[in-house]
Amino acid sequence: MSLNCEKYVAFVTLLEQLRSDATTTQILVPELRRRVAMLQQFFGQQIVPLADENWRVQSYQTEMSKQLRLLEIDVMFFQGARQASTIQTRLQTICDRLTTLIQYCDAIMQPEAEGEK
């Protein structure tokens, strides 16, 4: 496994752990904010420097950066939610965003399709 692939696997592991914790436990807002900040830091320090001339990977990295910023906004909305139904909706949005990020990582780690070479 290449070093680049190992970094994406580590990132996916962090994403999956947060998604699991958000769906199975009563995660507190400060903890959620801390873990999202940790994800952003990992992405900035470990994933972004993996400069790749492949347009496909660059596109995914751009989308991942955008999704991480939106995740931070989702957490702010979650923090402001007061009604149980709104809290549940916000939490589901956060989990969906994490799933999207995982799917982007999986797509980057997949071998290129024959037509893209």
The pLDDT assigned to 117 comes to 43
- Name all domains of the chain by residue range, CATH numbers in brackets: 3-110 (1.20.120)
The pLDDT assigned to 6 comes to 92
71 close to 98: Cβ distance less than 8 angstroms: yes
The pLDDT assigned to 4 comes to 86
The pLDDT assigned to 63 comes to 96
Q: Residue 116 above 90 pLDDT?
A: no
The pLDDT assigned to 112 comes to 58
Mean per-residue pLDDT over the chain, rounded: 90
36 close to 72: Cβ distance less than 8 angstroms: yes
The pLDDT assigned to 9 comes to 95
Selection from 36, 40, 1, 30 nearest residue 17 by Cα: 36
Reported as a single tens digit per residue, the pLDDT across 42-91 is 999 999 988 677 888 899 999 999 999 999 999 999 999 999 999 999 99
Which residues make Cβ contacts (< 8 Å) with residue 83, sequence separation at least 6? none
CA-CA distances (angstroms) from residue 4 to 11, 26, 42, 73?
Answer: 11, 33, 13, 28
